[in-house]
Amino acid sequence: MAERVPEVGTRSGALRGVLKDGVAAFLGVPYARAPVGPLRFRAPEPAGPWDGVREAGAFGPTAPKRPYAPPLDALLPDPDIAGDDCLNLNVWAPWAGSAPLAPDPPEGGRPVMVWIHGGSLIHGSSAVPVYDGTAFARDGVVLVSVNYRLGVEGFGVFPDAPANLGLRDQIAALTWVRENITAFGGDPDRVTVFGESAGAISIAALLASPLARGLFRRAVVQSGAPITRPLAEARRTTEAVAARLKVPATAEAFARVDRERLLTAQTEVTGRGSPLTGGHAFQIVVDGEVLPRDPAEALADGASAGVDLLMGTTTEEYRLWFVPGGVVDRVGPLLQRFLLWKTKVPSRTARVYRAGRPSEKPGEVLGALATDKLLRIPLNRLADARLDSGALGGTYLYEFAWRSPVLGLGACHALELGFVFDTLALPETRALTGPDAPRDLAAAMHAAWVAFARTGEPGWRRWDPARPVMTFGPDVPSLVEAPREAERRAWDG
């Protein structure tokens, strides 16, 4: 017997999705009006109503963007779907017949997880196959994935437009979830936001934003840390794009520029930037409204202290950027020292890493320092601050250590995504993992994320003075206390 077509009612109107193996998917659902015409470079407005039943069986348009530059384009799939209605989301939910599958035992609704994709705020979308939500729905979670504005249209800084438009989009999507997710069987009081890279940086900002308060109960921060820039500093990237376009650095002027021309200028300006060496990049900013203060400071001072927080990194984040293009081999001792000086890494810290890694190349030691400076150390400090303040929400740390054989990437940035989503069988996932990634490790990691969304506990003990870190791989998951403690301590003082 053929499965029935799932339909659901939202505040804007009825949706018709697709059903397969007990999971209903509603794709390309607008949560805000298309950011075009007078709404371009403006805060998102709620989606308007529609008549009849809206078909929701295919992904909606993605935010304007360009592909990753080679060689990353072969490793990180980034679908481009044309259209103006890019402020859309997707929902996967357990389904039976014509209605959401009821929880067993009844819990007043299923846990909800909202995925915010990464991509340096200029790439990515919710249509990336690796982010398929079927496995989460299979395991009793209502999974939502979100598109938001990218690049200068999402994170440009103008004197005549609101800042942090992409972050405002995410808040609008979370508001939609709050108002509509019950219809999909979800519990609006058990929402977990999770994201990786720029998505994790976004979540750190949401944790500190008064406009996002009450929209989620738990958060997962994967390979990102609380990072923002002052308005004046962040505006330099917008001004550089304006100079390329030969227009004033105002939203009014940019709104008259053809999108393709704008993307070309944006790509030229940001193409040489990197988190380690600097250069032009789009950043979340302290704007006085969405973010009244720096998120790192706000979170250390107790913001979102009641929110359960799971966060971590891969062991070798840097290898995604340093290995495919050969950077790891081009960095010798002199260039290493120059880059460490330029990025203000203390010489005493560098000495500890060199001493502890005598067989590694200078580029690998540099990468380990960069991984820790940008990611591991800020997350450890946040965990310590929550512990010291007696935060009510639980704090848990993980590390992903399984090493991919593809191009010698090792335990690189973004490698854990196929494990979290349990999508190792997809060719788009295998581009990064290879064909023989351990399914048992994916099952364990995915189950930990599901457990965290359901109960606030991923399956290991909370952060405490012994510094417990659940390490996924290279074999079975194991709890490690204070990994690489000498290197971590080298950043103190």
CA of residue 487 relative to chain centroid, distance: 26
Establish whether 197 is a catalytic residue: yes
Length of the chain in terms of residues written = 493
What's the pLDDT tens digit per position in 326-364? 999 999 999 999 999 999 999 999 999 999 999 999 999
Cα–Cα distance, 270 to 283 (Å, whole number):
11
What's the pLDDT tens digit per position in 196-222? 999 999 999 999 999 999 999 999 999
What's the pLDDT tens digit per position in 224-239? 999 999 999 999 999 9
Under 8 Å between Cβ of 185 and 142: yes
pTM of the model: 0.97
Establish whether 126 is a catalytic residue: no
What's the pLDDT tens digit per position in 107-160? 789 999 999 999 999 999 999 999 999 999 999 999 999 999 999 999 999 999
Under 8 Å between Cβ of 228 and 284: yes
Establish whether 446 is a catalytic residue: no
Catalytic entry in 196, 317, 399, 416 = 317
Q: Which domains occur in the chain, in start order?
A: 1-189 (3.40.50.1820)
Under 8 Å between Cβ of 222 and 420: yes
Catalytic entry in 117, 123, 280, 413 = 413
> Tokens representing 107?
């819990």
List of residues 6+ apart from 48 with CB closer than 8 A: 12, 33
Catalytic entry in 120, 197, 304, 404 = 197
